[in-house]
């Protein structure tokens, strides 16, 4: 009911607040026998953590994650895997003003409306710091996907503001290309201009939005369920469950609205003995089930709501006022969004991979 669990065959439950003792996650449903240690989690945690580059918030969190259960002698046991990420750089004083004022674009007012009161320290449960434990758990899902099915997930920044990166083939982008710059745009030239724009936003005490594109390759055909749990539906939910996402599309996306059927359909053809499609406007999913083609998704991410410049708002008591956020914030969320988006896709794909085992391996 309260919605802190995600997934069906592979289920992640999270808890924790931005300025409490830390975050906890429990990943239930991982099969036994996967080699796993904390070292598997840290690379993605480092990609997500604050303070990783000049472009991001300077909150200093190492985001070290302890595995508390579910691993024995270096392998998963089949029992639930618990993650603990302690908060280190809490500064409650930074957030004292937001106790009584509603920050525009944030969940302060809606939390009060929902619960009657809220943990106002740094956004409490609504803070994007909650995604740290998702990223940790998803690192396990990514490893399962890679070792069991050869699935790889790579996300990147496609555009920031008016600057768009040129990506000829989404399915060919590599993690190395993405990590070659702090913006995480594989078009290195565009990435430089994006970095400049982000710096300018910081100096202008403003923020800017963008689009992240995410690609999963190697997904076998047949994953996803035909009706409510279509793969596109579960991916859509997963990505919309991330903070700041206002739009999700896959394949030709909103472009289909202007297209004709005769140009939008991807003809089937044989390639290396397998049923394939000539093009990939369908984004790797037909009828909500994977087609074997690369799964390509895009998320629209809004500009950071927290701004150091004064914005009009009201107090809890209903008095008009202004607020200028004093905390440490990213002037653009996109670079750190990439590992979050990948994480949610990994959780969905691993879940559906496990679900498909129970469909295809039973009556043979």
Task: Restricting to residues 150-189, name those near its own copies by CB under 8 A.
Answer: 159-162
The residue (of 90 and 207) whose beta carbon lies closer to its own copies is: 207
Least CB distance from residue 176 to its own copies, whole Å? 25
Cα distance between residue 131 and residue 122, in whole Å: 14
Cα distance between residue 254 and residue 246, in whole Å: 13
Q: Are 102 and 313 in contact (CB under 8 A)?
A: yes
**Ordered DSSP codes for 323-340:** E---S---S-SHHHHHHH
Q: Per CB under 8 A, which of residues 13..42 are in contact with its own copies?
A: 13-17, 20-24, 26, 28-29, 31-34
Q: Are 285 and 232 in contact (CB under 8 A)?
A: yes
The candidate with the shortest Cα–Cα distance to 231, out of 340, 345, 342, is 345
Q: Are 300 and 211 in contact (CB under 8 A)?
A: yes
Least CB distance from residue 41 to its own copies, whole Å? 15
Residue in 62, 182, 209, 327 binding its own copies, rule: CB under 8 A: 209
Q: Per CB under 8 A, which region of 45-53, 55-63, 184-192, 265-273 contacts its own copies?
A: 265-273
Least CB distance from residue 337 to its own copies, whole Å? 12
The dihedral region occupied by 68, where left means phi > 0, alpha psi between -120 and 50, and beta the remainder, is alpha
* 101: Cβ contacts below 8 Å, ≥ 6 apart: 108, 313, 314, 315, 316, 321, 323
Q: Per CB under 8 A, which of residues 67..126 are in contact with its own copies?
A: 68-70, 72, 75, 77-82, 84, 102, 104-107, 109-111, 113-119, 121, 124-126
Least CB distance from residue 203 to its own copies, whole Å? 13
Q: Measured in whole angstroms, how far is the alpha carbon of residue 163 from the centre of its chain?
A: 21
Q: Is 148 in the site for its own copies (CB under 8 A)?
A: yes
Q: Is 213 in the site for its own copies (CB under 8 A)?
A: no
The residue (of 217 and 305) whose beta carbon lies closer to its own copies is: 305
- What track of x and - describes contact with its own copies for positions 186 through 205 (by CB under 8 A)? ---------------x----
Cα distance between residue 223 and residue 354, in whole Å: 9
How many amino acids of this chain bind its own copies (CB under 8 A)?
161
């Amino acid at each position: 009911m309260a919605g802190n669990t995600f997934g069906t065959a592979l289920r992640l439950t999270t808890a924790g607040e931005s300025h409490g003792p830390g975050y906890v996650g429990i990943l239930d449903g991982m099969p036994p026998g996967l080699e796993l240690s904390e070292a598997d989690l840290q690379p993605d945690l480092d990609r997500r953590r604050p303070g990783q580059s000049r472009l991001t918030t300077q909150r200093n969190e190492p985001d070290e994650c302890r595995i508390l259960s579910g691993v024995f002698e270096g392998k998963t046991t089949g029992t639930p895997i618990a993650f603990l990420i302690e908060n280190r750089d809490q500064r409650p004083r930074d957030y004292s003003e937001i106790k009584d004022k509603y920050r525009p674009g944030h969940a302060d007012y809606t939390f009060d409306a929902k619960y009657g009161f809220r943990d106002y320290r740094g956004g409490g449960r609504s803070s994007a710091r909650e995604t740290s434990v998702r990223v940790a758990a998803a690192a396990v899902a990514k490893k399962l996907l890679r070792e069991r099915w050869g699935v790889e997930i790579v996300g990147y920044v496609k555009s920031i503001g008016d600057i768009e990166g040129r990506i000829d083939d989404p399915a060919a982008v590599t993690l190395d290309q993405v990590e070659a710059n702090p913006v995480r745009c594989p078009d290195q030239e565009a990435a430089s201009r994006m970095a400049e724009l982000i710096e300018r936003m910081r100096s202008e005490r403003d923020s800017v939005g963008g689009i992240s594109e995410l690609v999963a390759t190697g997904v076998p055909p047949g994953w996803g369920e035909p009706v409510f749990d279509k793969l596109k539906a579960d991916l859509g939910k997963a990505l919309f469950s991330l903070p700041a996402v206002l739009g999700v599309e896959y394949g030709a996306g909103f472009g289909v609205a202007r297209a004709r059927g005769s140009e939008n359909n991807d003809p089937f053809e044989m390639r290396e003995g397998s049923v394939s499609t000539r093009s990939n406007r369908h984004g790797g999913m037909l009828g909500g089930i994977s087609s074997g083609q690369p799964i390509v998704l895009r998320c629209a991410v809004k500009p950071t709501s927290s701004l150091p410049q004064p914005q009009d708002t009201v107090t809890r008591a209903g008095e008009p006022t202004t607020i200028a956020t004093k905390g440490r914030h990213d002037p653009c969320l996109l670079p750190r969004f990439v590992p979050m988006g990948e994480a949610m896709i990994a959780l969905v794909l691993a879940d559906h991979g496990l679900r498909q085992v129970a469909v295809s391996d039973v009556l043979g």
